Structure 1
Amino acid sequence: MINYFVKKMKHYKNIPIFIKFKKDKDFEYRLNFMIFLSKFFNYKRTNHGDKIEELIPSYLDNIIYYSDIGDIENTFCSNFNLDKIYKSYQIFSDEYSKDLYLSQLINYSFVGENSKGTLFLLYYSHIWNQYKKVENSIKDKLDNLFLFDLSNINIPIKLYYPYPYGLFSDFILEQYKYKNKVYVSEGDIVIDGGGYMGDTALYFANLVGKTGKVYSFECVDSNLNIFYKNLDLNPNLKDIISIQKYPLYDKSNQQLNFADGADASRIMDNGNLKVISISIDDFVENNKLQKVNFIKMDIEGAELKALKGAKNTLSRFRPNLAISLYHSFSDYYEIPLLLSEILYEYEFYFDHFKLGRGESILFCKAK
């Protein structure tokens, strides 16, 4: 839709040039148009649910008005390498991905309570009608966790989880599926990098069925304790999921220090949890896997390293990929550029599944 506006306003002479890019005037125009348009959209992040900060649409708020808060163009240039952004932008296979990619780069530049970018299509989507159904699926509470029964939205899964939005994103928005192009199918072998409490593993297991397998990598004990509880709640899916207590990395047998941050546990020099890494290539070889159909990664900034440890698997099996980009500014271009070098004859797509900064996913599909 944004591309429609860009084409319609192609000859509109009053769009300011905030950022010059002489290599490609069409890219320059689209980027500056996106910045210009973003100055008219303003979203507020609010506390919602159990002290979880999410941006949930409030239709009592006016989001369309001019505001130059945050100095978009200078903030953008200080956060990103423009040449690498351009190279990544060129990789994408459809106009939707290109538009949303530029919009999310703007949105990601805003750390505080204000959000920018052209996210109004998601903001006003009817999909939010389903969010209330996820909230209404809460049946019980265990400490700081809610017990969700998703059967009321025709998903035969029960699980403990700390807040509704994660499940809304996993099961309703389906953030690890790109339209009808990149998705998990029955019988697939899935590598689930970043298992957390088992939500994505259960999502994938429900799709692959008894003839498939999900290898879910999670190394943080506090998350694993809930993960095992969630498997017991779903005996029909339990045997499809194999928990691997390792962090994915470029090389195996490296000692890594993790800071336990629940859904944002990450490698840190002063982390108090010491774990031993494994690479995807070594895992595939050690377990003599005969195929890998899908790789998902949401591993809190270790995606680039983990992908470097999967080069043989990517070349041999040519799986579909869904890789999180939102853990650093540089991931938005370093990960697409790395994969464009590794993958031969692939299509690349981009989507974003949150009104806030998180949940940007790079999708890759073999032609």
Structure 2
Amino acid sequence: MKDVIELLKECRNTVKNKFTKEEIEQIEKNDNFIKAMIEEDNFNIFYNMLNENYSKILFKKIVKYRYMLSFYKGAFNNNKEKIKLSMKYGSINIFSWGFKRLLFALQKYKYPSEIENFLLFYIFGLKQYNVENIFEVKDDSIVFDIGAWKGDTAYFFSKRCNDNAKIYAFEPDKDAFDTLKLIKEKYKLNNVILENILFSIKSETVDFVSMTPDTPSVKMNAITIDEFVTNNNVERIDYLKMDVEGAEMDILKGSVNTIKSLRPSLAIAIYHGGELFMEDFYKVPVFIKKITENYEYYIRTFSPWGGETVLFCKPRK
């Protein structure tokens, strides 16, 4: 497809005066994201899925930043280098983003102090899961919040809905779940239903690795979303949000029947995967398209370096 081919040429032209031809070839050869870009198939499918020009513009910016990151790997973990790279190739304007973050810091007292500030900024400051005409949880919505962590999204969804809503907050991490219970009780989130459940591709016992530093892995019994829906007689899901630190593909594979039959609006994190992240970017959307053709597709990103990139799938009428 012409756009992806031209984008690859543009990326290569950006680095050709700073790296030798041999260096470029070697870096591309060792990077799965770039190899998939060169092969084109998934990138073409994803680009052509997108239902608006703004999403296609973001697609190109995100891809270019991720391409450049493979040549400047220090920008992955070094904040100073990350900012420098984002000033040149950021998927959204880093100065505007930084100003919004500064403004939010003056308002964070309004929100639960038990939740990390950077999460509050994305969820409340940038309204990561409130995209007009695409993903707007409200009224008596039934929501699956998969990867609820300490309650940032559950709190956000709860406050946007009435008492007849059902916000299922799924979180397997014990420490995070304890905070989630505290948030529900302290802030009277009466429409939130807590579930200390681990989802996966099938029912199995797995070694669950906590996001809490220095916490050993634990054995947990995982189930699929399809099983949970069947076992609990869930007949409607309006919105399904998933941000599970790279386990998205496995969980999606265990939710095929639910997505096909109940057709919820989807918000799926696609910025995980691989050594330098973003390998889910070209895998998750294509997988969802194979499940069903009954969606419109959009992307939004909420950081200049492509992190917090979300695929929104809106059911066709």
TM-score bin (small chain): 0.7 to 0.9
Q: Which residue of 2 aligns with 1:98?
A: 56
- Amino acid of the structure 2 residue aligned with 1:250: I
- TM-score w.r.t. length of structure 2: 0.82
Matched, 1:213 2:213: no
Q: CA deviation at 1:132?
A: 2.8
Gaps of 5+ in 2: 76-80
SS at match of 1:295: strand
- Amino acid of the structure 2 residue aligned with 1:101: F
Q: Is residue 249–residue 278 contact of structure 1 (8 Å, CA) maintained in 2? A: yes
Q: Which residue of 2 aligns with 1:257?
A: 207
Distance in structure 2 (CA, Å) of the matches to 1:352 and 1:294:
19
Matched, 1:123 2:81: no
Distance in structure 2 (CA, Å) of the matches to 1:73 and 1:234:
54
Flag the 1:216–1:316 CA change in 2: closer, same or farther, 3 A: same
Distance in structure 2 (CA, Å) of the matches to 1:158 and 1:94:
35
Flag the 1:263–1:337 CA change in 2: closer, same or farther, 3 A: farther
Q: Is residue 279–residue 309 contact of structure 1 (8 Å, CA) maintained in 2? A: yes
Flag the 1:209–1:259 CA change in 2: closer, same or farther, 3 A: same
Q: Is residue 170–residue 200 contact of structure 1 (8 Å, CA) maintained in 2? A: yes
Q: Is residue 270–residue 309 contact of structure 2 (8 Å, CA) maintained in 1? A: yes
Q: Which residue of 1 aligns with 2:105?
A: 135
Give CA deviations for 1:24-67 in whole Å, capped at 9, x if unaligned: 3343224434665x77xxxxxxxxxxxxxxxxxxxxxxxxxx99
Distance in structure 1 (CA, Å) of the matches to 2:24 and 2:144:
37
Flag the 1:263–1:218 CA change in 2: closer, same or farther, 3 A: farther
SS at match of 2:179: helix
Q: Is residue 176–residue 361 contact of structure 1 (8 Å, CA) maintained in 2? A: no
Give CA deviations for 1:245-291 in whole Å, capped at 9, x if unaligned: 11111223x111122223999xxxxx621111121111111111221
Q: Which residue of 2 aligns with 1:245?
A: 196
Flag the 1:31–1:286 CA change in 2: closer, same or farther, 3 A: same
Higher relative contact order, chain-length normalized (CA < 8 Å, sep 6+): 2
Matched, 1:27 2:4: yes
Q: Is residue 91–residue 305 contact of structure 2 (8 Å, CA) maintained in 1? A: no
SS at match of 1:340: helix
Q: Is residue 182–residue 365 contact of structure 1 (8 Å, CA) maintained in 2? A: yes
Q: CA deviation at 1:305?
A: 1.0
Q: Which residue of 2 aligns with 1:185?
A: 138
Q: CA deviation at 1:319?
A: 0.8
Distance in structure 2 (CA, Å) of the matches to 1:206 and 1:31:
43
CA RMSD, Structure 1 to Structure 2 (Å):
2.8
Matched, 1:79 2:32: yes
Q: Which has the higher helix share?
A: 2
Flag the 1:359–1:26 CA change in 2: closer, same or farther, 3 A: closer
Q: CA deviation at 1:120?
A: 6.6
Q: Which residue of 1 aligns with 2:78?
A: none
SS at match of 2:123: helix
Q: Which residue of 2 aligns with 1:158?
A: 112
Distance in structure 2 (CA, Å) of the matches to 1:69 and 1:342:
41
SS at match of 1:277: strand
SS at match of 1:158: coil
Q: CA deviation at 1:210?
A: 1.0
Matches within 5 A, 1:248-327: 248-252=199-203, 254-262=204-212, 272-327=217-272
Q: CA deviation at 1:314?
A: 0.9
Distance in structure 1 (CA, Å) of the matches to 2:306 and 2:3:
26
Q: Percent identity?
A: 27
Flag the 1:358–1:167 CA change in 2: closer, same or farther, 3 A: same
- TM-score w.r.t. length of structure 1: 0.71
Distance in structure 2 (CA, Å) of the matches to 1:260 and 1:27:
37
Flag the 1:103–1:255 CA change in 2: closer, same or farther, 3 A: same
Q: Which residue of 2 aligns with 1:366?
A: 315
Distance in structure 2 (CA, Å) of the matches to 1:35 and 1:350:
24
Q: Is residue 137–residue 161 contact of structure 2 (8 Å, CA) maintained in 1? A: yes
Gaps of 5+ in 1: 1-23, 40-65, 138-147, 151-156, 266-270
